[in-house]
Structures are given as C-alpha cells and as structure tokens.
Structure 1
Amino acid sequence: MRLSLFAWRPVAAALLIAASGLGQSVAQAAEQRGSSTNLPLPRYVSLKTAEGNVRRGPSLSHRIDWVFKRRDLPLQVTAEHGHWRRVQDRDGAGGWVHYALLSGVRTVLVEHDMLQVHSRPDERSPVIAAFELGVIARLGDCDAVWCNISSGGYRGWAPKKYLWGVAPDELRD
C-alpha cells in the first residue's frame, strides 16, 4: 500500500517534534555550567596535593568522609558551590573538595594493564613503552580515538578507550 504525500505530513511533523525535543535536551546538557566558575559541568581536573580531604558537604563544618592520597589523581567535577567542588574518582567515590586542592592540569588513569604507548596515533607504529594498570599520566593532545600521554619520562599515543579522565568525544590540541 502506498501513502500519498499528504498522509506523510503527520508522521513528518511528529518526527520533527521529537527531533527538536531531543536537540533541546542535548543542547541543555551541553550548556550546563558551574555556578561559580561558569566552566562546563561535568569536567575533569586533577588533585594538586598529595592529600585532599573529601567532605560530605561544601564547607569546613561538614564531616570528612575520606582523604584522597594520590597527587595528580584525575577527578571529575560534577557540581560547584562557592569555593567548593563536588568531585568523583574513577569508581564514582567522591564528595566536596576545596578548589585550592584542585588543578586544571589534565591527567588520566590507565585502565588497561600493560597499555602499549605508540610513537604515533596508529596501532602499527612502534611501541615506546607499556604502562601498568593504575598509572597516572599527563594528558596531551587527543583526537577521536587516540590521546598523547606521558609518564615516567615516556611520551606517546594510547587508545582513548583505555584512559579514565578524558571524555570519549573530547578533542584536545
């Protein structure tokens, strides 16, 4: 059975409405910004100090739930309140941290044991080093699939899917 051009109008209108609604929700999510910094949320940062108290709420009067004890640990900022940032680590554990303990220097956590780091963003290029699971590396440029990382005096390209601390669709240069 063939439908006339006029029979398709309600279907096309419904598709346009659905698509515009989807576009608005994606645009709203992309436009979410921190109330204190006007920077995008969520975003990645790193721990500036060797120890950082993680509190239950955004003030010194809130209880310390635990302490992050790894300098340069990548963290994801999910909310802001004054000088406080709600952060979480790779496992989703987190809380509120004073902004002075955080750095904009980007780092990533290696999530694949013996991750091969290549000289170029190509799996056929020479392997420069292999990073163990849990290594923290400084993040450099990223394309759609690869990121340039460095740690322990080694620098090279690794597949983005094996790194935590960089968004899957993030491009850096």
Structure 2
Amino acid sequence: MTISRFIASAVLLLSSAQLHAFEFKTVAPNAVILYDAPSTKGGKLFVAPRGMPVQVVLTYGDWVKVRDASGDMAWLEQRSLSAKRNVVVRNPNARVRAAADDAAPLVMTADKGVILELVDPQPSSWIRVRHRDGISGYIRMADVWGI
C-alpha cells in the first residue's frame, strides 16, 4: 500500500509540474547588474540592458533568480523588474508580418537579439509585437524567446 501511494504521489507531482506556466518579466527602467548570489556583495556577472526579457526562476526576499535567453542564470533585485512584457528575437532575419499569416505582407525583418514589445500576450503560433521605432506586426512564436 505504501508503494502505491508513493507512485500516485509521484504521478500527481509530475503532472502538476507540467501545468506550471513560466513567468517572464522585463528589466526596467534602466540597465541592471546581475549577480551570482542574492546580494550586492555577490560577484557581478554582467549588465542586463533595459527591456531585456527574463524568466523568473525563484524569488528570495527582495531578490529574484532569473534565466536569460541564452539560458544563463543570475540574481537581480526585484525592484529592477517590470511586468511589461518584451521578447527577444532568437533567429536571424525573423520576419514580422502585417497579419498572422505567412502570406501577409512583410512589415520588417528583425535580427537575432532584437528586443520587441509583446503587444498581445495571448500565445498562439503567432504573436503581435511592436519595435521601439513604432513598427508593429506579427511574428512566429518560434522566432522569439520570452513567452
């Protein structure tokens, strides 16, 4: 009986882990220093630019452990994050179109690493984005990171 309870608990735990949604935020309002520990006394790893999307992995008091688009993890102060959502282009020459369709007119081409504002947070195979220059359109979700 104990083994069957253990197996049932493990199955429930694994199935609930799949339902957990990722939490993404954006570095704002200025560039911030990312640390290797949840303290300003920790080692400085790098500077995250304003608008960079990050995935929240863990919250510890006033500090947040985050993952960036390359998979690197670091700590930053929670007050340095904004709920505003941005995504980063992960494929070279990603196409932004006027509508969510491969046949729609091309609005712009975005290089790898370009940060775009997420206009419509409802994920599907296409998402609506806006460039800082004001150009907006639809990009394939597979071409960006942060959603």
What is the TM-score with the length of structure 2 in the denominator?
0.83
1:88 aligns to 2:77 (yes or no): no
Q: CA deviation at 1:23?
A: 4.9
Work out which of the residue numbers 33, 44, 49 in structure 2 matches 1:53: 33
Work out which of the residue numbers 97, 103, 106 in structure 2 matches 1:127: 106
Work out which of the residue numbers 163, 167, 172 in structure 1 matches 2:144: 163
Unmatched tracts of structure 2, length 5 or more: 1-6
Q: CA deviation at 1:20?
A: 8.6
Give distance in 2, aligned partners of 1:21 and 1:57: 31
- Other-structure match for 2:14: 25
Whose Rg is larger? 1
Q: CA deviation at 1:54?
A: 1.2
Unmatched tracts of structure 1, length 5 or more: 1-17, 32-39, 167-173
Work out which of the residue numbers 68, 81, 84 in structure 2 matches 1:102: 81
Give distance in 2, aligned partners of 1:120 and 1:65: 40
Give distance in 2, aligned partners of 1:163 and 1:146: 10
Higher RCO structure, 1 or 2 (CA under 8 Å, sep 6+): 2
Q: CA deviation at 1:24?
A: 4.0
Q: Secondary structure at the match of 1:65?
A: strand
Q: Secondary structure at the match of 2:14?
A: helix
CA-based RMSD of the aligned residues comes to 2.4
What is the TM-score with the length of structure 1 in the denominator?
0.72
Give distance in 2, aligned partners of 1:150 and 1:157: 9
Residues 108-119 of structure 1: pairs in structure 2 closer than 5 A? 108-119=87-98
Q: Secondary structure at the match of 1:25?
A: helix
Residues 67-82 of structure 1: pairs in structure 2 closer than 5 A? 67-68=47-48, 70-82=49-61
Q: CA deviation at 1:44?
A: 0.7
1:65 aligns to 2:57 (yes or no): no
Report the AA paired with residue 32 of structure 2. G
